[in-house]
Chains A and B, each alone.
Chain A
Amino acid sequence: EAGVAQSPRYKIIEKRQSVAFWCNPISGHATLYWYQQILGQGPKLLIQFQNNGVVDDSQLPKDRFSAERLKGVDSTLKIQPAKLEDSAVYLCASRTANTEAFFGQGTRLTVV
């Protein structure tokens, strides 16, 4: 079966610019996560969706980050405006109720 797809793989932007990441989860997976992984650290949960509803966005910096999953399938994560400290790998993962989470390869963002 196809895995979690993310694009782009790499992105370099200047600070104060905006950027968007896309995730296509495994078919039939109702739960979707976005994580931020800063170099040398563990993944930090940004937001969790159940179908098209937000379950947990307590750690999402809402002044600059936004995410949506309009039809309960694909999801986009946006940063506007970006800061230097947003440089990280952004990981998308999905699961069903009874499985572990499956991760995409991530998008490496560099803000200069």
Chain B
Amino acid sequence: AQSVAQPEDQVNVAEGNPLTVKCTYSVSGNPYLFWYVQYPNRGLQFLLKYITGDNLVKGSYGFEAEFNKSQTSFHLKKPSALVSDSALYFCAVRDTGDMRFGAGTRLTVKP
């Protein structure tokens, strides 16, 4: 069965600095990979996905993610963090149809 791991519970960055939120995956076939963001008392909002094609995927709000097959990673990145990016971020993988989520990483961007 597919799974994802988010090795960091918490990531702290200063506003204006680049950010990275890490994700590694395990899947038997070709992975469909996703990043979602969750703000307090809200549902999950889609940021970006990798299905096939370019390893660098661009998504909403200036976020991007790099698919690395050899390292089985799909790290989320942003060149310049905003205070408003502070939220809970989830990586997810879909293989046969069901979609599994990581435990989440809380991103805090300080002014």
User: Which residues of A are at the interface with B, using a C-beta cutoff of 8 A?
Assistant: 4, 31, 33, 35, 41-45, 48, 50, 55-56, 91, 93, 100-106
A31 near B103: Cβ-Cβ < 8 Å: no
Q: What is the CA–CA distance of A105 and B43 in the complex, to the nearest angstrom?
A: 4
Note all chain A residues with C-beta closer than 8 A to B101.
Answer: 35, 42-45
- Cβ-closest chain A residue relative to B102: A42
Q: How many A-B residue pairs have C-beta atoms within 8 angstroms? Tell me.
A: 47
B44 near A48: Cβ-Cβ < 8 Å: no
Contact of A45 among B98, B102, B104 (CB under 8 A): B98
Closest Cβ–Cβ distance, residue B97 to chain A (whole Å): 6
A91 near B103: Cβ-Cβ < 8 Å: no
Q: What is the CA–CA distance of A101 and B94 in the complex, to the nearest angstrom?
A: 10
- Cβ-closest chain B residue relative to A92: B43
Contact of A100 among B34, B98, B102 (CB under 8 A): B34
B44 near A91: Cβ-Cβ < 8 Å: yes
Contact of B104 among A35, A42, A106 (CB under 8 A): A42
Closest Cβ–Cβ distance, residue A45 to chain B (whole Å): 6
Contacts A42-B101, A43-B101, A45-B100 known; list 19 others, CB within 8 Å: A31-B97, A33-B99, A35-B101, A41-B104, A42-B90, A42-B102, A45-B98, A56-B97, A91-B43, A91-B44, A93-B44, A100-B46, A101-B46, A101-B99, A102-B46, A103-B36, A103-B45, A104-B43, A106-B43
Q: What is the CA–CA distance of A41 and B102 in the complex, to the nearest angstrom?
A: 8
